[in-house]
Structures are given as structure tokens and as C-alpha cells.
Amino acid sequence: MLEPVRIPCRVIVAAHPSIPDAVTEAAAVSAFFQARGLESTHGTLNDITLRKRLKDGEFDLLVAIGGDGTMLRVSHLCAPSNVPILGINMGRLGFLMQFGREQWHTALEQLLKGEYWIENRMMIRAELRRADKSLGNWHALNEVVVCRTAAVRPVRVSASVDGMQLTNYVADGLIAATPTGSTAYALAAGGPILPPELRNILLVPIAPHLSVDRAVVLSEGTSVSITLRGGDAVLSVDGQKPVGLAEGDLVDVRAGDYAAQFIRFGDREYFYRNLTAHMNQPSAGFPR
């Protein structure tokens, strides 16, 4: 039995600007909602006006048209405003999507009948500190990474869990990932796959040299601090523009202040079917 849900009334349809036909598809989806009496508008992720309206609370649903990278970007926009996201896959992989452009008519009919459920996915919060001064805060749906620059030399980092020293790494970097991120960079680095409903942080070293080479799954509610001990390194949050680090910089990672909400249909075991389908096909490159 599906849980009672709210039928959306004000919808924004956001397309990835660089994916062929995504903007055209967004217009068709928006027209679908309008024909059924809903308020709906569409545009691209680069539309500053739409982003402001979303932040101001003018919408109660966002339909994202693109790939997994699109879902990452809209999760950063929607999570603080508690706006659920429905994804239509027109990218390469679609780990975060449940259906593609051929199925959206059927899925949206189910949506308007209330035949869906909300999946809450943990986000993590990263704070960069230098000499007890905060240099910034970020939220991530996938991962926070401290890694080497273009220079082909490993970096030295230490990791502490809830203030207690865990271990030191000499590696290309260290990933602190969410369960969602366990199927992204962390998976490529050899980490385990975690079910998306968990609220654990996953630590995965990247190409460790004479260091601990196993991933560590931290307990729910645990925080981890990553300190740069040596080498040229940057901080990257969900693949956004990297931030340069200095020796002694500390990156504190813990559960975020809010969660990403994804619209889902059918049973709650979809994740494993989706996972199996993607793992049985050749990689088409990194998601957009």
C-alpha cells in the first residue's frame, strides 16, 4: 500500500542546457501539466530567474530532465526548500533516475493520481577550516573529496572520526561519500555499494600507497575530519569547481542539514533492479 502523498500544483521543469532535445522535452512536459490544470513553467538549469523563484518557494515539484549530474545540481537547489524532484533520464547512466523519456507520460499520470512515494536521500555537509577560521560550507549528495592536483604526486591526509584519530593515508585522495555516492566516484575507487536509504558516511581512499586500502563505513551520526598533512591538494564537492587547500587545512564532514527528496513509483526494491541493469552494461562515461 502506497503512503498518502500530496498532489503537486506548481511545477518547474528544468532541463540540462547541453543535452540535445532536453529543452524541447521540458516544454512538452510543462505543456502536459498545463493541460491538466496545473501551474507549470520550464527552462534550463542556468535560468537565474527560475532558480530564484524556486528558492523563494514558488514551486512544490521540480521535474529534472538530463542525467545524474542534472539530479545532483537540482538536489542542491531543491533540498534547502524541501521541494521533491522527479527525474527523466536523457543522459548516459541514470543511476538516480527511474525512467526515461519514453515512459514519462505514464509516470506523470501516476503522479497526478498520487501513486508515488518520496525517497529521502541523505546529504552531507562539508566545512573547510584553516587555522580555526571557516572558509566555507557546502552540501553534497554524492561525495566530498580531498585529492591531489594535476601534479602526479600523492598527498598525505589524516582522518579522524568523532575527534579520534582513525588513520593516515598516502594516496591520490580520500572520498567521503553518502550512500547515494557509493555508486559514483566511490564505486570507481573500489568502495562498496550502500542502499540509498542508509544514513552512513563511507570513506574510500583513492589509489593508496602503503596505506589502508579498504573502505570504511562509519556509524550513522558519525562525523569525520580530513586534514591535509602534505602535498598539493584540492577540495571537490559533488564535482563542483575545486577549492585549493593548504597544508594543515581541515575538512569536517557530517550529516547535512537537509535531505534530497526523489519521487519514486512502484515498489521500494527498484534500486537493486536499476543497479543490476547498469552494472551489466558497458560504462558510457561519467554522468552529466
Output the DSSP codes for 62-89.
EEEEE-HHHHHHHHHHHGGGT--EEEEE
Angstrom CA distances, 227 to 24, 31, 251, 257, 261, stand at: 46, 50, 6, 23, 31
User: Which listed residue (68, 172, 238, 249) is catalytic?
Assistant: 68
Q: Counting every residue, how long is the chain?
A: 288
Please confirm, yes or no, whether 68 is among the known catalytic residues.
yes
How many Cβ atoms are within 10 Å of 41's Cβ, its own excluded?
19
Cell matching residue 183: 555508486
Whether the CB-CB separation of 258 and 123 falls below 8 Å is answered with yes
- Helix or strand run (H / E) with residue 126: strand 117-130
* Residues annotated as part of the active site: 68
